[in-house]
Every structure is written in structure tokens, then in C-alpha cells.
Amino acid sequence: MQLGIRRRSTVEDLSVPRAGDRFGSYYDPEGFGRFSERIAHTIGTARFLVVQTVVVVAWVLWNTTVPDGWRIDAFPFILLNLAFSTQAAYAAPLILLAETRQADRDRAEASEDRRRAAEVKADLDYLARELASLRIRVADSADIARIESKLDRLLAALDESK
């Protein structure tokens, strides 16, 4: 007889993580990182600075030369200042995120470079040992050839003396 103990289903199992949050939304950090890099890349171009300068000059000219009813900014440049503040508030963290991702890539590349350098060093050490071994063998073979020629001369001299 069971005493009312039921097994949890896999949906209610707390040992299994959920996919996403309870509202069904999903946040892709890599996608957001790529987006921030595109924004940082765009903000860091001369084209962006030229377009922004043209917009600011047009804004200033429009708000100083047209009648009060046609102005975009009723107060002198407060809306422009708010736009710049909002742009800076979003641009700075996006640029920092892009720099962080680049630093991570640089760190991984440096680690790979260190690994490759260690492999190359090991290969060079092996080749140096092999070259030294060949040099020793060549030097030994020259000595052996010299000794053999001396022995041949001694044997020839012994044969002549008999």
C-alpha cells in the first residue's frame, strides 16, 4: 500500500533545468554580443561622425531659424542634449561589451599561439637532437674510417715484414 507518495514528473522535476524562463523568452548572449560589436563598429566610423555632425548642424539651424511653432525643440537644445545623453548611455556599455568580447578573442588567440609555439619548440628541440646525433655518427664514422685505414696500413706493414 502506497502512503500517498507520488513521483514527480519530468516537468516538475527540479533537478532538470528549464529551457528559458517561465515566460518563454530566450536571451542569446552571443547574438547580443554580435549586435553590440556591429553597433560599436558603426559608431567608430568616420561616416557615423559625419552623419551625426550633419544632423546636429541641421537641428541647430532648424531650431534657430524657423518660427516657434515649427521648431522641433521648444526649449533651446534640451531635446538634442537628451538625445546625446541617451546615445552615450547606450553606446558606452555596448562599446565596452564589444571590447570585452574582443579581449576574450585575443586571449584565446594568444593561448593558441602559446600552444603552437610550444609545439614548434618541441619539434625544433627534437630536430636539434636528431641533428646532433647525426653529427656524432658522421664524426664517429670518420674516426672509424681513419682507424680502419691505419689498421689496414699496419696489417700491410706486418704482412711485408713476414
pLDDT score of 1: 46
CA distances from 91 to 80, 84, 99 (A): 16, 10, 12
pTM over 0.85: no
Digitized pLDDT (tens) for each residue of the chain, 162 residues in all? 455 555 545 556 777 766 655 666 667 778 888 888 888 888 888 999 999 999 999 988 888 887 877 877 777 788 889 999 999 998 888 888 889 999 999 999 999 999 999 999 999 999 999 998 888 877 777 777 788 888 888 888 878 877
Interatomic CA distance for residues 47 and 11, integer angstroms: 52
Concatenate the DSSP letters of all residues of 85-97 into one string: HHHHHHHHHHHHH
* pLDDT at site 57: 92
Domain ranges of the chain: 29-161
**What is the torsion angle, in degrees rounded to the nearest 10, for the CA atoms of residue 66, residue 69, residue 75 and residue 80?**
-60
Please check whether residue 72 is in contact with residue 80, taking contact to mean a CB–CB distance below 8 angstroms: no
